[in-house]
Amino acid sequence: MLDPKLAAKYENQARMLANKVKKTYNHLRKRFARQNIDVFRLYDWDIPEIRAAVDWYAGHLVIAEYNRKQSTPEWLPMMGAALAEILDVPRENVHLKERRAGKQNGKRYERIDTTNKKIIMSERDLKFYVNPYDYIDTGLFSDHRNTRQMIREIAGDKDFLNLYCYTGTFSCYGAKGGARTTTSVDRSETAITWARENMDLNGITEQGNTLIQAHTFDFLEQAKKENLKFDLAVVDPPSYSTTRSRKAEFDILQDHPKLLFGVVELMRPEALIFFSTNHQNFEPRMETLAISDVAEITSLTIPEDYISKKKTIHRCWKIIV
């Protein structure tokens, strides 16, 4: 039984959150509808005591609590109920998640349910399958929709490499932008299967669009042996990654110089690499790379609905080889 004082506090927070989200929804929905964008952020820890992120998925709500020791099991359902009511969303379309800080975030594909249910979301003239039921992440990182569009605009006649490709959304944009070839790499069989489904959904053929299930460093080693070369790359690794064998552990703070060194070795002269991370304490160490220039372009890659005073959703660099 929830303490009455705590219950009253949560009810007040739920009202504040609902009012804030409704105002943002009214501000954004028509503009994104004109752009044919189904997925956008409505709230991200804007009120200090309400530690949550709220995303709109074309009639579905994904509500994630930034979990901490003081969290109680009653809080998140109360926030979800208030948001469902004010936005007139059926309860079955409200998806509650818990996000924990630290190395747990490396469990990128860990299941929380087994519905295997995917729904289609639009992003401009492309469509992607999302699964808000079974995983912490839904299959579409909407905070990178600007970056995806950048890739599309420069992909023409280029050989494009997408490392840690997840569900292949960058590769779909590259292919639609006229890339000569796309090569998408991820260690997860689930992700690679999902990426193929997204390509099929967008009419992208298997020919010239290669999907590879492999650990990134294994791929980089093999690609070097085969003398594969690329003109454009996206590298968007998780902050942490572990495997059962522990032979392929990855910590972006320690390992990004080695990772980027391996990528640079595969790039043709004047090639472009887009490197991104959502690690909140990331400090780049790129001084020793054999490149001609590097510039942080975060301000260009974060969409307006992801701009937050509390935290930066991701950081992004453009590297010229």
* Nearest CA among 151, 184, 194, 159 for reference residue 297: 151
Q: Are 260 and 233 in contact (CB under 8 A)?
A: no
CATH 3.40.50.150 assigned to 140-320: yes
Beta-sheet pairing, 181-186 with 209-213: parallel
pLDDT digits (tens, 9 = 90+) for 273-303: 999 999 999 999 999 999 999 999 999 999 9
Strand partners, 119: 130
- Taking each helix axis from N to C end, the angle separating 216-225 and 252-264, rounded to the nearest 10 degrees, works out to 20
Q: Is 43 exposed, middle or buried (0-12, 13-18, 19+ CB in 10 A)?
A: buried
* Nearest CA among 49, 50, 31, 48 for reference residue 40: 31
pLDDT digits (tens, 9 = 90+) for 160-197: 999 999 999 999 999 999 999 999 999 999 999 999 99
State the DSSP code for 24.
H
CATH topology of domain 4-101: Transcription Regulator spoIIAA (3.30.750)
- Alpha carbon 176 to chain centroid, angstroms: 20
Q: Per-block average pLDDT, block size 10, for the chain (321 residues)?
A: 89 98 97 97 95 97 89 94 98 94 52 92 98 96 98 98 98 98 97 98 98 97 98 96 69 96 98 96 95 98 92 96 97
- Cα(first)–Cα(last) distance of the chain, in Å? 60
Cα separation, 177 vs 157, in Å, equals: 9
Q: Are 51 and 152 in contact (CB under 8 A)?
A: no
Residue ranges per structural domain of the chain: 4-101, 140-320
Query: What's this model's pTM, rounded to 2 decimal places?
Result: 0.94
**C-alpha triplet 192, 106, 246: angle, nearest 5°:** 90
